[in-house]
Copies of this chain bind each other. A is one copy, B any other.
């Protein structure tokens, strides 16, 4: 199958590697707006060719939109417009486009009434690292992780099936929910983690003017807790922005929990600290 990948960063690049290696893609065409990243992707050999978005959509049967969600909201209707033009010219369009973004509701609203809506599948492969760009792409990134497919009843069954085959090749488990539910859940199990990591990094950087000491004393615990603070602004600004309402609620709950810790420590309340810790320990049942 001819696959086009728009955006050759960590996610698009990692997909390219395994879709080619595992025989799902006969040919891989890439689109990359950033000239440095485009040159790197070609040098690394992530895709066969880097072309314009028009050429990519014209040539490929399945298009993966792997750009930050701010750009995806702009580009997805343009791609569906190209599908429409093809249908108007040739009489039929059998193409599918899927996105891989971390927020879903705004994208869903943007194309809800588009005449080619059924050609789009909203997906979120829940995998990543704190690194970005084509040089961060790696084989096996998606293996064993969860992939969420949103609003599947709004997509053509054949397009959903194609998306499932693609993620099956990447060894992902499929989960189905609607866009609104997706955005609530990811606010809690992904987006808030990034904000707490960024805030932790800012706190420590603010205090520790002697950076040597941070490095010397940083335990494994600190490193794992602050790891996500290396994450890329281009990706996360639009996510926080688009998931604003859910995130504000999560942040408020989180601040209440921090305040409870502060009050217990401030009040010499060792029983109170113990209760908070033991309640938090229940996470053991859920996260290995």
Chain A window 234-269, contacts with chain B (Cβ cutoff 8 Å), 1 for yes, 0 for no: 001110110010011011111101111110011010
Chain A 137-159, CB-CB to B under 8 Å as 1, else 0, gives 00000000110100000000000
Q: Which of A94-116 contact B (CB under 8 A)?
A: none
Q: Which of A7-15, A23-31, A37-45, A193-201 contacts B (4 or more CB under 8 A)?
A: A193-201
A230 within 8 A of B: yes
Assess whether A203 is interfacial by the CB under 8 Å rule: yes
The answer to whether A218 touches B287 (Cβ under 8 A) is yes
Q: How far is the CA of A241 from the CA of B267 in the complex (A)?
A: 10
Q: Is A133 interfacial (CB 8 A cutoff)?
A: no
Is A282 located at the chain interface by the 8 A CB criterion? yes
Given A199-B258, A227-B287, A255-B255, also A194-B221 (CB < 8 A): yes
Q: Is A22 an interface residue (CB 8 A)?
A: no
Complex contacts, A196 vs chain B, CB 8 Å: 196, 199-200, 225, 258
Contact of A189 among B128, B197, B217 (CB under 8 A): B217
8 A Cβ contacts from A179-206 to B: 185-186, 188-190, 192-206
A171 vs chain B, min Cβ distance (A): 15
**Residue of B with least CB distance to A236:** B277
Number of copies of this protein chain within its complex: 2
Which applies to chain A's interface (DSSP): helix, strand, loop or mixed?
helix
Is there contact, CB below 8 Å, between A188 and B207? yes
Interface centre among A145, A199, A211, A226 (most CB of B within 10 A): A199
Partner of A251, one of B202, B218, B262, B279: B262
When A190-B217, A216-B175, A261-B198 are in contact, do A205 and B283 touch as well, CB less than 8 Å?
A: yes
Q: Is the CB of A225 within 8 A of B222?
A: no
CA A137 to CA B148, docked complex, whole Å: 38
Q: How far is the CB of A280 from chain B (nearest CB, A)?
A: 4
| Contact partners of A236 in chain B: CB under 8 A | 273, 277
Please give the distance in Å from A114's CB to the nearest CB on chain B: 25
On whether the beta carbons of B240 and A273 are closer than 8 Å, the reply is yes
Given contacts A199-B254, A204-B188, A233-B277, contact A265 B283 (CB under 8 A): no
